[in-house]
Amino acid sequence: MNPTLFTLLIASTSVFCGDQYLQKREKIIQDERRLSLGGNIELNDKEEAVNKCIMKHKHNELDYAFDSPQFFNFSHHFFFYRENIPNSKVFKIIKNMPKGAVLHVHDMGILGPDYLLNITYMENLYVCLEDNIQFKFSNKTPSSVCSSKWILMRDARRNTKDITEFDARLRNRFTLVVDNPDEVYPSITQSWGAFMDYFGTVAPLVSYRPVWEQYFYDTLLKFRNENIMYVEVRSILPNLYELDGTEYDQLVTAKAYRKATLKFIQDYPDFIGAKLIYAPSRKVDNATISKYLNVARRIKEDMPEFFAGFDLVGQEDLGEPLIEFAPQLAAAAGEFNYFFHAGETDWCGSTTDENLIDAVLLGAKRIGHAYALPKHPVLMREVVNKDIGLEVNIISNNVLSLVRDVRNHPLNVFLANGLPVVLSSDDPGAWEAGVLSDDYYVAFVGVASRTADLKMLKALAINSLKYSVLDSKEKTDALNRFNLRWKEFVNNFDCSSY
């Protein structure tokens, strides 16, 4: 061998295998871990025991998937593995773990199809059995247009040959879940179309005033049962109605929320409470935006302690961009907290992802989804500098056709850079997911680093309270309550139970 070549080979080998190289390599790994969300949290001995258990189960799942990638659930549509999630030991631990708050969830998409089906057994419910099924509670036959005829639901059910089959077909109206999602929802057009149909079907069913109040009470119970202690709910504030046809102002809808919340806190004093984000449709004109802002003003004036802020919702690609309403929204920025949906798109350089620019410039306290944020490095820095919370909804983004393999979700960039992430669930009832635990599980195992551990989970839960609109005193109380629950969870943890 050429002596010079031999010398270079030895030198190269020395550099590669020497302690200095390995130390530099380890430093990069440790620096990245410290930079990631939760990286600076120190775990005590009992937390370390919990961490050892959950990481053992997490690595078992990931090792199997690495060796058999075709069976890695998270590379597929959520509907393919949804029913297997409760079998995961990691999921069982996460479900029992205190998770703080839910800050991005839409009222009529929280409780699932079984709950909605039960509503159809109530008295005085009429149904119009056509392609776009209609429901209406009334003390007489509804006068609104029906291409067939309005009939009492109890009679429609009684007249069918097979009630089980009838209810199964009815239940399908209350869910997006299908056996073949890749065929039924080949693109965002089909998934969002079905999503909008879902709300069109559900809205008149739940906006009957007694149902609405009970629905939200039961929603809070669902959250509490998944170890959540506080909720900020988005609502378009539909006009509630009575059996005699009386239709109420939107302020009454907001008051119904507060009424249900106060009753729930009285029944469950360990639950901190809920606040309302008024979130009407973005597919409107400037005159309508002015009306929206006036509604928000009325709610804030009547119940300032319950009103959280303002947002605009709907499919961003089809709705009006924020820049269209920027003058009006900027003028009202001093009056409201903004929590704009922005960047819920795969496009780059479009009016849709540029909603992120306007959300930041308009002073949004949090940004809903922010899916396109990594394509905007300047905005990424602004989010950090302004400490703007990012409301990430993993399962929603999968179901609504933004990402199929969640390993490619931008949440992994947010987590790796320690951005102010808040995990939430968007409309879990529409796709039959848990109200938050499923999203935590998918994020923890399917999106985050293999090395992401209990520190990250704890940081996410703390963030959910940190980026809430609770005032400083309320926030301190909430964090104190969370720490007590976390301590109880850790102290009573038994790995052999999972």
* Structure confidence at residue 8 as a pLDDT band (50, 70, 90): very low
pLDDT at 418: 97
Would you call 305 a catalytic residue per the annotation? no
**Contact call for residues 241 and 253 (beta carbons, < 8 A):** no
pLDDT at 322: 98
Q: Nearest to residue 279, comparing CAs of 303, 323, 310, 317?
A: 310
> What is the pTM for the complete model shown?
0.94
**Contact call for residues 209 and 249 (beta carbons, < 8 A):** no
Residue 250 has pLDDT above 70, yes or no: yes
Would you call 369 a catalytic residue per the annotation? yes
pLDDT at 130: 83
Parallel/antiparallel/unpaired status of strands 341-342 and 273-278: unpaired
Domain covering 81-110+224-489 assigned CATH 3.40.190.290 in the classification: no
pLDDT at 9: 46
- The burial class, CB within 10 Å (0-12 / 13-18 / 19+), for 194 is middle
Residue 310 has a CB neighbour count (10 Å cut-off) of 27
Q: How far apart are the C-alpha atoms of 142 and 114, rounded to whole Å?
A: 25
In the chain, pLDDT over 90 holds for what percent of residues? 94
Residue 295 has a CB neighbour count (10 Å cut-off) of 17
Catalytic residue (choose from 57, 104, 341, 369): 369
Q: How far apart are the C-alpha atoms of 56 and 300, rounded to whole Å?
A: 48
Residue 11 has pLDDT above 70, yes or no: no
Query: DSSP for 475-494?
Result: HHHHHHHHHHHHHHHHHT--
pLDDT at 132: 87
* Structure confidence at residue 241 as a pLDDT band (50, 70, 90): very high
**Contact call for residues 130 and 155 (beta carbons, < 8 A):** no
Top pLDDT among 448 and 161 is at 448
Catalytic residue (choose from 61, 226, 320, 344): 344
pLDDT at 2: 57
Domain boundaries, the chain: 81-110+224-489, 116-174
- For the segment 428-439, the average pLDDT, to the nearest whole number, is 98
* Structure confidence at residue 317 as a pLDDT band (50, 70, 90): very high
Q: How far apart are the C-alpha atoms of 121 and 112, rounded to whole Å?
A: 16
pLDDT at 407: 96
**Contact call for residues 334 and 298 (beta carbons, < 8 A):** no
Which pair of structure tokens corresponds to residue 255?
């008051």
Length of the chain counted residue by residue: 498
pLDDT at 6: 47
Question: pLDDT, tens digit, for every residue of 52-98?
Answer: 999 999 999 999 999 999 989 999 999 999 999 999 999 999 999 99
